[in-house]
Structure 1
Amino acid sequence: MRAAPGRFTGWAAGLRTWLDDQPNRRPPGRDPKTVRHYLTTDLDQILASARERRPNGHINRLKPYLQHRFRGGATNAAALFREIQERGYRGSRVVVTKYIATLRANTAVSESARPIPSPRRITTWIMRRPESLTDSQRE
Structure 2
Amino acid sequence: MTGVWALLGAIAVVAVIGVVLRARNGRVRAARPGVRLPDPVRALLDPNTHVTLLQVSTTFCATCRQTKALLEDLAHRTEGLRHVELDVTDLPDVAAELGVLRAPTTLALDGTGAELLRVGGLPKRDTLIAALRPHLPGPIG
TM-score range normalised by the length of the shorter chain: under 0.3
Rg bigger for which structure? Answer: 1
TM normalised by structure 2 equals 0.21
**Bigger RCO of structures 1 and 2 (CA < 8 A, at least 6 apart):** 2
More strand by share: 2
More helix by share: 1
